[in-house]
């Protein structure tokens, strides 16, 4: 499928694009939104969800970006690693923090598979 440019977008898509640009204080939306605009309904749902959940809340926005990157690495989603990696850096992640994030993700993937392999039963204390 092809990306939908603002000029060619129906009204409903433009409204979402405008809100993304205003919320994020950017001149244009990322490719992700231009492609997702092929389905104006999902575009609206996904943006509405991200706008509310990724903003300030019980976790700070940087922590949420780091979590997003961790999931994206585990799923091996190239686009998502690039976009949320950039997002994390824009919100203040240093190279040292990114390295440490990568290390934790690597260790978690290792111990996840070891816990599976040994069929480790959940400790009483964790129930």
Kindly state the helix (H) or strand (E) to which residue 83 belongs, with its residue range: helix 78-90
Question: CA 85 to CA 75: how far, in whole Å?
Answer: 14
Question: CA 56 to CA 54: how far, in whole Å?
Answer: 7
Q: Cβ 22 to a second copy, closest distance in Å?
A: 18
Q: Cβ 21 to a second copy, closest distance in Å?
A: 14
Pick the closer one to a second copy by CB: 18 or 90. Answer: 90
Pick the closer one to a second copy by CB: 18 or 102. Answer: 102
Question: CA 96 to CA 103: how far, in whole Å?
Answer: 11
Q: Cβ 95 to a second copy, closest distance in Å?
A: 7
Pick the closer one to a second copy by CB: 7 or 76. Answer: 76
Pick the closer one to a second copy by CB: 14 or 50. Answer: 50
Q: Cβ 20 to a second copy, closest distance in Å?
A: 13
Burial of residue 22, with CB atoms counted within 10 A of its CB: 0-12 exposed, 13-18 middle, 19 or more buried: exposed
Calculate Rg over the CA atoms of the chain.
Answer: 18
């Amino acid at each position: 499928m092809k990306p939908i440019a603002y000029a060619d977008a129906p009204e409903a898509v433009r409204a979402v694009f405008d809100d993304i640009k205003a919320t994020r204080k950017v001149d244009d939306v990322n490719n992700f939104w231009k492609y997702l605009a092929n389905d104006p309904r999902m575009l609206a749902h996904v943006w509405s969800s991200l706008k509310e959940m990724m903003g300030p809340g019980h976790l700070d926005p940087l922590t949420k970006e780091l979590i997003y990157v961790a999931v994206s690495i585990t799923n091996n989603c190239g686009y998502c690693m690039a976009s949320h990696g950039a997002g994390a850096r824009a919100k203040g992640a240093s190279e040292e923090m990114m390295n440490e994030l990568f290390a934790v993700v690597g260790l978690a993937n290792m111990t996840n598979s070891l816990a599976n392999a040994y069929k480790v039963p959940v400790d009483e204390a964790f129930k």
